[in-house]
């Protein structure tokens, strides 16, 4: 009991003094997850919109696939990306395994289906409302997609926040492809997993608190965005 | 001064049919729309008025029959017509941005868009809502904005689907005023309504539709003074049953 109280005290100390080790890990986590979500947005938003709007054979199957990929287990994604990037794998020549890039890649795979599936839903609903009006105004497919993405921006932002929440909280994928190497690939979740088992509860707790704060922030932002969307802006 | 562009009119519908759900909803409609007079498509709920407008505007492809733009500029028919829907569809942006969007799609350069947006808002009496999110406006205001948006593109033909169906008398009066101004500015008005009083106020020509068929057509004067069919007579008397 005493140990835990001491650990809490130390962890607050680490946070308040902006402990260098802690800050480094937090920044790396943010960097990896933000890059992954950014890439997922670039691929996932147009992909979701395309599946919503284009009529091609197997469209429904793709929509279902995207939805089911939303729940991919991070460890499995980690394993697949590991196999792709490992020395003997097809992308082994890139030498990316156990680098932050590999972690970005793994989280990208994890998050893209989430962004794409949510974007498809948003765009499809909006299209049902807009289709005739946009066609009447003379919008071609490309213009229509851009319009739907822009007008659905608040809902789509919620999708990106959901993706970021998932990326920053997962541990399995980044652990496998990053390896939790100190000063290189250690992020909040892997550090918590490792330091806890090593007995350094203070650092683990400190990072845990920051992770919780981050999650609250993301959810709070999602609420704000939703309110903005309702206001009809 | 700008030279008036070549017309896309007249528009001819030739034996136009539309089927859905195993039913013939529009049945062998043949009509001609010439530039000038306001044509009102009159008929009870479910007569097929909205479908007919969509077919004419090109949003629906007829199951059978032809929709033909026959004017010298028929090639560009798409960009010289506009439609205002029974339920206004507003983009999630400001009132001004809604109009600006329509102009951008018509290829109006940025510099000339601004004054045209302002002018359109002013004509619809919506200047003070320029920066307001369009979807925060009341239905009546949205309907006026939809009209302003359509008008801003200076269409040769404007299809209006019951633009006053859900409006109170004051808003109806305002919308009718805008429609009148658009007409006087030279745009061909093709409008549906089930409101007889409105048809009397606005119509030059009447097309009377029932069960997806054209029952009667002609000048408004003739139609109201001496309907030729029992159905039209019953509709005018308010005793049409279906
Ligand atoms: N996609 C569809 N599938 C089946 N039936 C349809 C479809 N679209 C329209 N209908 C039917 O066709 C008929 C004509 O519809 P339409 O909307 O053109 O009527 P309307 O004259 O505009 O009526 P209102 O005055 O109520 O607006 C209606 O009975 C409607 O239920
Ligand atoms: Mg209708």
Using the structure block, give the residue that is written with the tokens 């697949």: A80
CATH number at residue B108: 3.40.50.300
Instruction: Show residues of chain A in contact with B78, CB under 8 Å.
Output: 138
Supply the pLDDT for residue B3.
54
The closest residue, in CA terms, to atom 29 on ligand 1 is B46
Q: Is residue B154 part of a domain?
A: yes
Region A49-71: mean pLDDT is: 90
**Which residues, in sequence order, are bridge partners of residue B16?**
B29
Mean pLDDT, chain A, integer: 91
Supply the pLDDT for residue B100.
98
* C-beta separation of B150 from B163 below 8 A: no
Q: Is residue B1 part of a domain?
A: no
Supply the pLDDT for residue A232.
61
How many folded domains does chain B comprise? 1
CB B21 near ligand 1, within 6 Å: yes
pLDDT digit string, tens, across residues B206-218: 999 999 999 999 9
Residue A1 has pLDDT above 70, yes or no: no
Identity of the residue in B91, B136, B153 whose CB atom sits nearest the CB atom of A151: B91
Atom of ligand 1 nearest to the CA of B48: 18
Among residues A188, A183, A194, A191, the alpha carbon closest in space to that of A213 is found at: A188
pLDDT digit string, tens, across residues A119-172: 999 999 999 999 999 999 999 888 998 899 899 999 999 999 999 999 999 999
Searching chain A, which residue's CA lies closest to the CA of residue B56?
A: A136
Q: Is residue B22 part of a domain?
A: yes
Q: How many CB atoms lie within 10 A of CB A112?
A: 26
Instruction: Give the rounded distance of the alpha carbon of B47 from its chain centre.
Output: 16
Q: Is residue B33 part of a domain?
A: yes
Higher pLDDT: A186 or A13? It is A186
Cis status, amide bond into B237, omega within 30 of 0:
no
Using the structure block, give the residue that is written with the tokens 């809490």: A8
**What are the two backbone dihedrals, phi and then psi, of residue B220, each rounded to the nearest 5 degrees?**
-60, -40
**Which residues, in sequence order, are bridge partners of residue B197?**
none
Q: Which domains does chain A have, with CATH numbers?
A: 2-231 (1.10.3720.10)
pLDDT digit string, tens, across residues A199-210: 888 888 989 999
**Order of all β-strands in the sheet with B23-33:** B23-33, B11-20, B64-69
Higher pLDDT: A9 or A134? It is A134
* ipTM for the whole complex: 0.92
Domain of residue B78: give its range. 11-237
CB B63 near ligand 1, within 6 Å: no
Supply the pLDDT for residue A73.
93
Region B81-108: mean pLDDT is: 95
Supply the pLDDT for residue A229.
76
Region B168-174: mean pLDDT is: 90
Supply the pLDDT for residue B238.
87
Supply the pLDDT for residue B1.
46
Supply the pLDDT for residue B4.
64
Q: Is residue B191 part of a domain?
A: yes
pLDDT above 90 coverage of chain A, percent: 67
Q: Is residue B92 part of a domain?
A: yes
pLDDT band (50, 70, 90) for residue A182 = very high
Is the Cβ pair A132, B133 closer than 8 Å?
no
Region B219-238: mean pLDDT is: 94
pLDDT band (50, 70, 90) for residue A8 = confident
pTM of the model: 0.84
Mean pLDDT, chain B, integer: 94
Cα–Cα distance, A7 to B217 (Å, whole number) = 88
Residue A65 has pLDDT above 60, yes or no: yes
Query: Which secondary structure element, helix H or strand E, spans residue A201, and what is its range?
Result: helix A201-230
Q: Is residue B6 part of a domain?
A: no
Is the Cβ pair B135, A232 closer than 8 Å?
yes
B6 in A contact zone (CB under 8 Å): no
pLDDT digit string, tens, across residues B100-143: 999 999 999 999 999 999 999 999 999 999 999 999 999 989 99
Helix axes A20-53, A153-169, angle to 10 degrees: 130
SS (HEC) of chain B: CCCCCCCCCCEEEEEEEEEECCEEEEEEEEEEECCCCCEEEECCCCCCHHHHHHHHHCCCCCCEEEEEECCCCHHHHHHHEEEECCCCCCCCCEHHHHHHHHHHHCCCCHHHHHHHHHHHHHHCCCHHHCCCEHHHCCHHHHHHHHHHHHHHCCCCEEEEECCCCCCCHHHHHHHHHHHHHHHHCCCEEEEEECCHHHHHHHCCEEEEEECCEEEEEEEHHHHHHCCCCHHHHHHHHCCCCC
Q: Is residue B193 part of a domain?
A: yes
Residue A211 has pLDDT above 60, yes or no: yes
pLDDT band (50, 70, 90) for residue B242 = low
Higher pLDDT: A118 or B2? It is A118
């Amino acid at each position: 009991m005493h140990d835990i109280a001491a650990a809490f005290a130390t962890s607050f100390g680490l946070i308040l003094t902006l402990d260098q080790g802690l800050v480094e890990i937090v920044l790396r986590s943010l960097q990896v997850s933000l890059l992954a979500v950014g890439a997922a947005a670039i691929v996932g938003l147009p992909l979701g919109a395309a599946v919503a709007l284009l009529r091609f054979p197997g469209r429904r199957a793709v929509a279902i696939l995207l939805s089911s990929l939303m729940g991919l287990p991070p460890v499995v994604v980690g394993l697949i990306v590991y196999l792709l990037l490992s020395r003997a794998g097809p992308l082994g020549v890139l030498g990316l395994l156990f680098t932050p890039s590999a972690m970005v890649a793994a989280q990208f795979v994890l998050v893209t289906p989430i962004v794409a599936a949510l974007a498809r839903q948003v765009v499809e609903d909006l299209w049902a409302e807009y289709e005739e009006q946009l066609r009447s105004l003379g919008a071609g497919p490309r213009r229509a997609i851009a319009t739907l993405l822009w007008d659905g921006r608040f809902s789509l932002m919620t999708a990106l926040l959901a993706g970021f929440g998932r990326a920053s909280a997962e541990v399995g994928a980044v652990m496998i492809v990053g390896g939790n190497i100190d000063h290189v690939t250690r992020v909040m979740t892997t550090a918590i997993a490792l330091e806890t088992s090593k007995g350094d509860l203070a650092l683990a707790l400190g990072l845990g608190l920051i992770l919780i704060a981050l999650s609250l922030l993301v959810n709070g932002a999602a609420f704000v965005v939703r309110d903005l969307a309702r206001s009809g802006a | 001064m700008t030279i008036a562009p070549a017309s896309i009119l007249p528009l001819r519908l030739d034996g136009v049919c539309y089927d859905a759900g195993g039913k013939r909803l529009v049945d062998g409609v043949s009509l001609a729309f010439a530039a000038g007079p306001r044509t009102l498509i009159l008929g009870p709920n479910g007569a097929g008025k909205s479908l007919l407008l969509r077919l004419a505007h090109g949003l629906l492809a007829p199951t059978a029959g032809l929709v033909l733009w026959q004017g010298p500029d028929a090639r560009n028919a798409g960009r010289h017509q506009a439609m205002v829907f029974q339920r206004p569809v507003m983009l999630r942006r400001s009132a001004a941005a809604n109009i600006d969007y329509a102009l951008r799609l018509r290829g109006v350069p940025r510099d000339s868009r601004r004054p045209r947006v302002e002018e359109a808002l002013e004509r619809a009496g919506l200047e003070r809502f320029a920066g307001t999110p369009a979807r925060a406006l009341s239905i009546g205001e949205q309907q006026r904005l939809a009209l302003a948006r359509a008008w801003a593109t200076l269409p040769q033909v404007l299809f209006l689907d019951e633009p006053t169906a859900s409006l109170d008398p004051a808003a109806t009066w305002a919308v009718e005023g805008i429609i009148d101004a658009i007409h006087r500015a030279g745009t061909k008005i093709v409008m549906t309504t089930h409101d007889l009083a409105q048809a009397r106020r606005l119509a030059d020509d009447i097309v009377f539709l029932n069960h997806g068929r054209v029952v009667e057509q002609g000048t408004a004067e003739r139609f109201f003074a001496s309907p030729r069919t029992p159905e039209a007579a019953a509709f005018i008397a308010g005793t049409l049953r279906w």
